[in-house]
Structure 1
Amino acid sequence: MINTNAIFSISSEKEFSTLALDIFKFQFENNPVYRSFCDLLYTHPSDVKQIEDIPFLPIQFFKSHHILSSKAQIQDTFSSSGTTGSTTSKHYVTDLSIYEQSFRKGFEEFYGAIKDYVILALLPNYLERKGSSLIYMVNDMIQHSNHPESGFYLNNINDLKQQLITLDTQGKKILLIGVSFALLDLVEQYQFKLKNTIVMETGGMKGRRKELVRDELHAYLKSGFGVSKIHSEYGMTELLSQAYSLGDGRFKCPNWMRVLTRDPEDALTLQNINKTGGINVIDLANINSCSFIATQDLGRTYKDHSFEIIGRFDSSDIRGCNLMVL
């Protein structure tokens, strides 16, 4: 059995690699879907000597299968957003305390103590549905904030404007976290000159507005909020960890998470750094589901383990990954 405390105390590359290999073996033995996928690729733990040898499960499997490496009772089910009638991803979580440890420690690694911030959340499309892991995370952050002004905003944009200006003028440390289209809506109505606020976008127009490339989006937001940088959060339903960009477009992972890239034409071949490819994520907090996931994002990695998101695959299928129908 894996000691989950070891996940959040990783302090070196060797520790990460050793634990990743242990978790691969554990999930191979305890996750029937992942085991079948590895069997199809003729990959056995005895063949896996380094993390680059580990198979990455296509993320679409979270839409069609129960991805579980635990027989414990499911405590919560996180689901992705989707259009009416579409199939959504479901992440079955058997231990919410692992998720809580992950997002609390991950945030504090990059930004310091959550309690020091006023958390203002502008996440309307997430609030309007059930099962959002992002809402679970932000709600927990609001509860752990030492400021009674922290909270969610749905359609009360004018109240948010007043609160933001008042708190920023008072010198409070503020985190304004919002989905991209809602942040754009805000700065189209009001202009700001913020001095003590971190503006963090979580991505996604969700069909509400025309998609913008990151540089264009951030230029609009920097101008509208009067800030020099726009921060970003990289997370998804299928992950229990988040990466953060502190305003330079490059995301950095907490110590228990890594990003690799694969050849866009050959999903089973990993690429070197500085080359654009499909994003593969190792998230060791996913101990009870699957820690090795091939996403539908495109990006590139760098020597310092940071990564950049460039876009998504045009097709809904990840080429070369749809090897199995169960």
Structure 2
Amino acid sequence: MISELQNEVHGLPVVEFPIDTAPTVPAQGPVAWRISVPTYEPPFEWPEAFAKFRAAVDPSTVQAIVVGGWSDPYEDDNSSAHVVEALTAAAGELPALRSLFIGDMTSEDCEISWIVQSDVTALLTAFPRLEHLGVRGGNQLVLTPVRHENLRSLVIETGGLPADVVRAVAASDLPALTDLELWLGTEEYGADSTVDDLTPILDGEKFPRLTRLALSNSDQQDAIAAAVATATILPQLRALDLSKGVLLDAGAEALLAGQSLTHLESLDLHHNYLSDGMRERFRAALEPSGVDLNLDAGDADEDEYDGTIYRSVAVGE
């Protein structure tokens, strides 16, 4: 579950816009503005909060916006569509906007897999200078393959990412992309992609500048690790994140047996189900080369019921 809100976005501190106070806000310097309404019985809807924001802050200077909660985001008829529509309609007022995050909610606001998203493609077409896009929640999330010249990072956090979205990311033309993070999730919460859907990403041709790749929070983490181990893209990466998933010794073995990992600056495998012996093998293989390793098992506990062992990803519901 998500227990904390973001406090920094791409080097900018997150500042909550005070929706219930004076109509003007003192200059803050470069910040990421978080615009949110309570998810239960808000005084008004998110577009009205956004209108208040644009009236109180010079929108032409805004570099980053973090969209927090909106009214009843767990209801099928209260998707993020009205948020996307309000943002794209105001695109002309936001020439300096470089960073957007949609759905910065904790589990108290709305569980990640209950957040009803929508088609977010318009955010990329309406903001051609956008450099960073983040989305939390995969329920009803839609993305159409798109070309975007300036997007440098794309983060999609879900408990279950639809295969159509995975395929759309893989089919998009993003020549400036350096950082791609996909929380793939589990079938229980809507994940229906396969490792084959990741092939265009792993082939290395789609994103020539990619240096950080996170394919995480998956119950198929072993198969993903094995695919990454032989992927064409691996030598160009500087950071690899296969964390938060159901990674067992079999997947870790495939990763170690594949291409060299010693060129990496960091390898994040936290929340895993590795044996102590496998962890030691990773340390012996990579720490002498200066790779920053995260092998922390965290809260990855196994449960047994009627002779069957159950393992879970870090972020599900």
**Fold agreement, TM-score > 0.5:** no
Greater share of residues in helix = 1
Flag the structure with more relative contact order, 1 or 2, with Cα contacts below 8 A and sequence separation at least 6.
Answer: 1
What is the TM-score normalised by the length of structure 2?
0.32
What is the TM-score normalised by the length of structure 1?
0.31
